[in-house]
Structure 1
Amino acid sequence: MATHAGKFLEPMSLLLPALLFAGLTGMMAMQTGLPRPPVAAGAVAAPVTVTIAPRTFGYRPAGKFQQGTAVVDAPLTEITGERLEIMKFQVSVADYARCVADGACEAPDRRSRAESEMPVTGVSFIDAEAYARWLSDATGQLWRLPTDAEWAFAAGSRFADDALGVDGTLDNPADRWLAQYEKEAALGAGASAMPEVLGFFGENEFGVADLASSVWEWTASCDSRTRIDGNGAVINSLESCGVRIVEGRHRTGMSSFVRDARTGGCTVGAPPDNLGFRLVRDTGWQAWINQWWKSLAD
């Protein structure tokens, strides 16, 4: 009898945690707004994506870095990027319009052609987050903004190193500010400031289109201020999540509610020409757990 009971309890011991996890996931979905299966299967097709294989690459963290009394370049570090599935194109006018029609997104601010195959612009970080939630619900998959490091990983050779090679003291930061404006102006010299149809600016070595073009892209990363010692080791760091990092021909921080950088909200340097975004797709149960923790933190 004990033998039969043991055989019965063995699979039950595996089934019980699975049932508890499923119940917990359902409760979290109702209470925190986690993505749920679509009401009608296949109501929204998943975007075209590119999968990037793991690799190690050089990366300077986003944010402001200070060494003693001097503002300095972020230390160059080597990090290993994990497998990443990212949208091949930026979110389009047509795709974003579906979210607006469903009442899940606010209509964007218009400043360019509103053709369906144009990248949507005039959207804030808050708008991008709302679209990611809507797309997750509509597809039954988990979509989110990339972190700044993930964006750099996907950008490859199109990622702009923002090192200036000029230190600025707190008493006299003018040299560093001037160097930054000059570098950013050179990056944009002769480049179109207006959005173009998806794919117009070509693909990078991984097949990701329109990176570092006329549309800057929101990331999930918060702006930060970090103090480092003489060896580049972090002494302390303070995040400011009311400002998020945007990536394009250059990197900068932008107030999360701003839709048009010309009106202000850019923390340093030349303002981006246009604000848009693309998303990454998370897979596996760990992604859902991470989203749950994020929703609690928010």
Structure 2
Amino acid sequence: MSCTNQKPRNSLFRTALPITLIAALSVGIFQQAGFFEPSPPTSADFEPQTVVVPPRAYKYRSDGEFVKGTAPVDAPMKAVVAADNLTITKYQVTASQYAACVLDGGCAPADAPPATGVEIPVTGVSFDDAVAYARWLSDKTGDYWTLPTDEQLAQAAGKRFPDDALGLDPDNKNPAIRWLADYEREARERSKRDPVPRPIGSFGENEFGLADFGGNVWEWTSTCHRRVHLYKNGSVRASEAICGVYVTVAGHRSPVSSFIRDPKGGGCSVGTPPDNLGFRLVKSTRWYAPLLRKLRDTGWIA
């Protein structure tokens, strides 16, 4: 009996030991190569306030333009099981935080009037500007900061994440019905336009403590816009990613070209343009985050 029980234990030990040794050796190599450097001594001066969104299961409307045959249809609902905590900035990056990056030479000046007296989100920034700030903040803090994906923003935004569906019958072949519904929705969105950025905290917090989501600053994500073509039964026939155009989110989704800073002047690919463009960031808490930062710095990953 004891011999029978010993075989699986020996087998498990023989399998686990090489894996453990390889992992330990890899960590040692990465440390010697400088991938796991200590945080800069001034990192706390630049660390933004964050919230931690717990793991959860949720549903949200998929991003992108969906077409069945030749007719546009509502995107399907997507079920997600987020197994890990998500650490994300509580507020959108502020004008003063971004100005520090500009002063340090890491960012281009925003196309927005300077803030006076109150702390407001930075606006007038492109996708490229937001990525530059994320890299600068990573250097200053020793952490790995990135723009959130559309899915991560849905996880963090909770009940405030928008549902852009028109709710029309997907099998209705009369295009006039959808055109009218699109027109009515855009008229409602334009009537709610509020172009002046408000002080941080003006739009309250959601159930996870995330502040100001869904206000009048649309947030850049790292998710490329896409067009999805469906068969008649609803299954996917083809999906075309349009990188260079990225999803922005607030009261509704809006795909915007990466170089656009003022969406009111053009660059919105679909629907009503955002009032303003800003962003918040996600911090990776995985053990290999320093490696990711180094790989990004050396150009191995974007």
TM-score calculated relative to the size of structure 2: 0.82
**Aligned partner of residue 58 in structure 2, secondary structure:** strand
Matches within 5 A, 1:1-298: 15-23=24-32, 26=35, 39-42=40-43, 44-82=45-83, 83-111=85-113, 113-115=115-117, 117-166=119-168, 175-187=177-189, 189-190=191-192, 192-288=194-290, 292=295, 295-296=299-300, 298=302
Give the conservation status (yes or no) of the 8 Å contact 1:70–1:167.
Answer: no
How far, CA to CA, are the matches of 2:144 and 2:132 in structure 1? Answer: 13
Amino acid at match of 1:254: V
How far, CA to CA, are the matches of 2:58 and 2:23 in structure 1? Answer: 40
**Bigger Cα displacement from structure 2, 180-189 vs 239-248:** 180-189
Give per-residue Cα distances to partners, 1:181-224, cap 9 Å, x unaligned.
Answer: 42244356456331110001111111111111011110010001
Give per-residue Cα distances to partners, 1:21-74, cap 9 Å, x unaligned.
Answer: 335564xx9xxxxxx766543363311111111111111221111112221111
**Aligned partner of residue 285 in structure 1, secondary structure:** coil
Q: Which runs of at least 4 in structure 1 moved beyond 6 Å after TM superposition?
A: 10-14
Give per-residue Cα distances to partners, 1:242-297, cap 9 Å, x unaligned.
Answer: 10000011101000000000110001111101000000111123445556379535
**Aligned partner of residue 45 in structure 2, secondary structure:** coil
**Bigger Cα displacement from structure 2, 129-138 vs 62-71:** 62-71
Give per-residue Cα distances to partners, 1:214-244, cap 9 Å, x unaligned.
Answer: 1111001000111122343222211111100
Give the conservation status (yes or no) of the 8 Å contact 1:177–1:269.
Answer: no
Percent of aligned pairs with the same amino acid: 47
Compute the displacement of 1:85 (Å): 0.9
**Aligned partner of residue 47 in structure 2, secondary structure:** coil
How far, CA to CA, are the matches of 2:121 and 2:246 in structure 1? Answer: 20
How far, CA to CA, are the matches of 1:173 and 1:272 in structure 2? Answer: 26
How far, CA to CA, are the matches of 1:55 and 1:189 in structure 2? Answer: 35
- RMSD, aligned CA: 3.0
How far, CA to CA, are the matches of 2:170 and 2:59 in structure 1? Answer: 24
Compute the displacement of 1:115 (Å): 4.6
| Structure 1 residues 38 and 188: CA distance shift in structure 2, 3 A | farther
| Structure 1 residues 15 and 296: CA distance shift in structure 2, 3 A | closer
Give the conservation status (yes or no) of the 8 Å contact 1:123–1:276.
Answer: yes
Give the conservation status (yes or no) of the 8 Å contact 2:190–2:272.
Answer: no
How far, CA to CA, are the matches of 1:204 and 1:43 in structure 2? Answer: 26
Compute the displacement of 1:107 (Å): 0.4
Give the conservation status (yes or no) of the 8 Å contact 2:218–2:248.
Answer: yes
Unaligned 5+ runs, structure 2: 1-17
Give the conservation status (yes or no) of the 8 Å contact 1:109–1:121.
Answer: yes
**Bigger Cα displacement from structure 2, 232-241 vs 129-138:** 232-241
**Bigger Cα displacement from structure 2, 247-256 vs 222-231:** 222-231
Question: Which residue number in structure 2 is paired with residue 4 of structure 1?
Answer: none
**Aligned partner of residue 296 in structure 1, secondary structure:** coil
| Structure 1 residues 273 and 92: CA distance shift in structure 2, 3 A | same
Amino acid at match of 1:59: Y
How far, CA to CA, are the matches of 1:237 and 1:156 in structure 2? Answer: 26
How far, CA to CA, are the matches of 1:128 and 1:255 in structure 2? Answer: 13
Unaligned 5+ runs, structure 1: 1-9, 30-35
**Bigger Cα displacement from structure 2, 189-198 vs 219-228:** 189-198
How far, CA to CA, are the matches of 2:25 and 2:128 in structure 1? Answer: 39
Amino acid at match of 1:105: C
**Bigger Cα displacement from structure 2, 10-19 vs 234-243:** 10-19
Question: Which residue number in structure 2 is paired with residue 7 of structure 1?
Answer: none
**Aligned partner of residue 226 in structure 1, secondary structure:** strand
